[in-house]
Amino acid sequence: MHKFSTLNFIKEIQNTVSTFLADSYDHVVEPDKVIVNTTSKDFDGDYTVVLFPFVKALKKSPNELGEELGKAIVSSSNSLCKGFNIIKGFLNLELSNESWKTLLKHVFETKDSLGKDQMPEQISLVEFSSPNTNKPLHLGHIRNILLGWSCSMILKEVGQKVINTQIVNDRGVAICKSMLAWEKAGANETPENTGIKGDHLVGKYYVAFDKLFNQEYKDWQSTEDAQNLYVEKKKEDQSQEGFFKGYKNQYFNNQSKIGSETREMLLKWEDQDAAVRSLWEQMNAWVYDGFDKTYEALRVSFDKIYYESETYKLGKSIIEQYLQKGLFFKKEDGSIWVDLEDVGLDKKLLLRSDGTSVYITQDIGTAQKRYEDFSMDKMVYVVGNEQDYHFQALFETLKKMGASYADSLYHLSYGMVDLPSGKMKSREGTVVDADDLIAEVIAEARASAQEFGNLESLTEAEKEEIFTRIGLGALKYFIIKVHPKKRMTFDPKQSVDMQGQTGPYIQNAFVRVQSILRKSDGTNGSFAAYESVEEAEKQLLVLIASFPTVLLEAAVELDPSKVANFAYALAKEFHRFYHDVRILNAPDEARNFRITLIETVATILERSMRLLGIDMPARM
RNA sequence: GGCUCCAUAGCUCAGCUGGAUAGAGCAACUGCCUUCUAAGCAGUAGGUCUUAGGUUCGAAUCCUAAUGGAGUCACCA
């Protein structure tokens, strides 16, 4: 017979059931196929075994089988399980007072390490943020950054060696647009002489370029050439507006004056033209300075940054190399392609006819470079779901190339962020700027904290730190609680909300514990004689015991929202407990039990939130 | 049009490796601060889990189809 040897009750119950069925009925069920849930609150008990799957196979009544299983579990549990009841095919098990005390002792002693190192120590690269250098970071980047950071933290927690990385798209048409507009209309503006943050200044010229081009395009539309083209090429009933909207790219590439100036600049850049390179370096430096400030404000950091300007050539040479091997093919115009039709995709362009590189070109180079640098076991790309197809094509191309790391690549595809008014559109100025947003949530936290007035005794710097933690806590939690794959609506009003299922609500649970601990004078003795563990205390222990499982699931699925929802559930249970149960002035045994319990709760909450990139304040 | 993803309360989201009467928060309404921080707690109200079939002892969960929405199918990223 199987005997309970750990405090992982679910696992022990599963093992006991599996062993019992094998011994008594010669019926083989894998332990992890035995369904054990926490008992629903409408019934008596703590854990529940679902009997239906066995009832059918063994042709026994649920009550009969439940009776046998219940007895087997009680007798093999080393007094941890004291009784059971059977209702409609569910076997509800009731744990003994002793088991809760043993469990508390165990989770308290291991509270700092509970759930850690459950995965093999492998090297994972997590790529996130990966901005273009032509404009500042916005709300979309924030979701990306928070997801990437949190996945990185979670993987580290379960024992992986993680390297935070990004690929900065620092070259190409986009940055040339900003550069060109700055040359034309910049009046030598710099971050220093304007006081504008570097990335915002460059973004300003990106917008300026767009205006210049739109003006040029609009002027051209009324020329005879344009009108003739419209009449000649329009689809049936197509309005002039609709036609010219669709023609925009073609105009930019083939007719636009400012468009050809942009391409000229790009070619000069590739030819190492000194003036272009120097302007490029200067404007990128402004941008990086701005990005660094945003990352700092968000409290995230990177271990290794790759730049497209440094990897695109490697990509080109790899493609040339595999072209020679006959894996890729060249069209008459000189462009190079890979045929992915055998894996259900299309033909994909790898290199333009003029020899310049596209997105996938440098991606191939970057992947190779990363493998040379880190020999990673796993590579996670945090990139929005509008690029699903691109990553399929990239991964399939690398597989065709026989890259040894091709199977370890994973695209963490997340949904777009919408505003209540709909999609964010840069053209309509509805993009939510990252820096503005961060400042706003902190200001909101400051305003509420001042209303509460609990921080009077602190210095200004201490207060500011707390406002920042609360504001960022609200923002980050709001975004990360949603499953990554789902498209989400970002309501600015709700994001600064601090009541209910929010970051500050969870922080507040932690703060309440700290407040009690400060008043407890550190006195905390034995609770060996505590005889009546309360329902709320059991619930907290059940949740704490489930933390390792939640953590592992979050790591395997790369889903931080699991941790976020767990933290909320634990905080909610704590708030209820705090309200219902006296702690400091309870009888000694109860007081000791409860202080030990809430200290464990606080640690697990703090660890959970840290995995989401959220810091706990000691007061609020 | 092909392919991919999504659809749960008025709103924002959990639950989805099938299990008991589908859960939270926000918004609305009602209570609870001389007692460890009320950024809290308790309660009322709110649902044909988009629809139609199917598999199953059992379906929000799995399968098929339809509907609605999004993305993608660039010598953009």
Q: Which domains does chain A have, with CATH numbers?
A: 9-95 (3.30.1360.70), 434-611 (1.10.730.10)
For residue A540, give both structure tokens.
Answer: 């907290």
Helices (H) and strands (E) in chain A, counts: 22, 15
A84 strand-pairing partners = A93
Q: Burial code of A343-354, b = ≥16 C-beta within 10 A, e = fewer?
A: eeeeebbbbeee
Are A377 and A122 a contacting pair, CB within 8 Å?
yes
Is the predicted pLDDT of residue A234 greater than 80, yes or no?
A: no
Q: What is the distance in angstroms measured between the alpha-carbon CA of A618 and the sugar C1' of B36?
A: 15
CA distance A616 to A476: 13
pLDDT (0 to 100) of residue A506:
98
Is the predicted pLDDT of residue A427 greater than 80, yes or no?
A: no
Confidence bin at A566 (pLDDT 50/70/90): very high
pLDDT (0 to 100) of residue A98:
93
Is the predicted pLDDT of residue A193 greater than 80, yes or no?
A: yes
CA distances (Å), origin A165, targets A25, A297, A359, A365, A570: 54, 18, 18, 15, 32
Is the predicted pLDDT of residue A238 greater than 80, yes or no?
A: no
CA distance A609 to A620: 16
Tens of pLDDT, residue by residue over A539-564, are: 999 999 999 999 999 999 999 999 99
Q: What is the distance in angstroms measured between the alpha-carbon CA of A479 and the sugar C1' of B25?
A: 14
For residue A157, give both structure tokens.
Answer: 């927690």
Q: Which nucleotide is nearest to A506 (CA to C1')?
A: B39
Q: What is the distance in angstroms measured between the alpha-carbon CA of A295 and the sugar C1' of B8?
A: 36
CA distance A103 to A124: 33
Tens of pLDDT, residue by residue over A127-162, are: 999 999 999 999 999 999 999 999 999 999 999 999
pLDDT (0 to 100) of residue A248:
84
Q: What is the distance in angstroms measured between the alpha-carbon CA of A601 and the sugar C1' of B41?
A: 19
Q: Which nucleotide is nearest to A580 (CA to C1')?
A: B41
Is the predicted pLDDT of residue A239 greater than 80, yes or no?
A: no
CA distance A545 to A555: 17
| Region of poorest pLDDT, from A47-56, A135-144, A249-258, A288-297 | A249-258
Q: Which nucleotide is nearest to A91 (CA to C1')?
A: B20
CA distance A157 to A554: 11
DSSP E strands, A355-408: 378-384
Q: What is the ipTM of this complex?
A: 0.96
Q: Which nucleotide is nearest to A308 (CA to C1')?
A: B77
Which residue is nearest nucleotide B17, judged by alpha carbon to C1' distance? A33
| Region of poorest pLDDT, from A130-134, A250-254, A528-532, A574-578 | A250-254
A36 strand-pairing partners = A49
Q: What is the distance in angstroms measured between the alpha-carbon CA of A607 and the sugar C1' of B16?
A: 27
Reported as type and span, the H/E element at residue A141 is helix A139-157
Closest CA relative to residue A49, chosen from A79, A11, A22: A11
Mean pLDDT, rounded, of chain A: 93
Confidence bin at A92 (pLDDT 50/70/90): very high
Most distant CA atoms of chain A, gap in Å: 96
Which residue is nearest nucleotide B36, judged by alpha carbon to C1' distance? A516
What lies within 8 Å, CB to CB, of A236 at 6+ separation is: none
Are A130 and A167 a contacting pair, CB within 8 Å?
yes
pLDDT (0 to 100) of residue A429:
79
SS (H, E, C) A569-600: HHHHHHHHHHHHCCCCCCCHHHHHHHHHHHHH
Q: What is the distance in angstroms measured between the alpha-carbon CA of A478 and the sugar C1' of B9?
A: 20
Are A446 and A471 a contacting pair, CB within 8 Å?
yes
Query: Phi then psi for A173, rounded to 5 degrees?
Result: -65, -40
For A279, counting Cβ atoms within 10 Å of its Cβ (0-12 exposed, 13-18 middle, 19+ buried), the class is buried
Q: What is the distance in angstroms measured between the alpha-carbon CA of A446 and the sugar C1' of B49?
A: 40
Q: Which nucleotide is nearest to A39 (CA to C1')?
A: B20
Tens of pLDDT, residue by residue over A432-491, are: 999 999 999 999 999 999 989 999 899 999 999 999 999 999 999 999 999 999 999 999
Confidence bin at A386 (pLDDT 50/70/90): very high
Chain B nucleotides reached by a protein CB under 7 Å: 4-7, 11-17, 19-21, 24-27, 35-42, 57-58, 70-77
Confidence bin at A368 (pLDDT 50/70/90): very high
Confidence bin at A430 (pLDDT 50/70/90): confident
Q: Which nucleotide is nearest to A451 (CA to C1')?
A: B39
Reported as type and span, the H/E element at residue A372 is helix A359-374
What average pLDDT score do residues A578-607 get? 95
Tens of pLDDT, residue by residue over A307-357, are: 999 999 999 999 999 999 999 999 999 999 999 988 888 899 999 888 888
CA distance A31 to A144: 38
Are A93 and A45 a contacting pair, CB within 8 Å?
yes
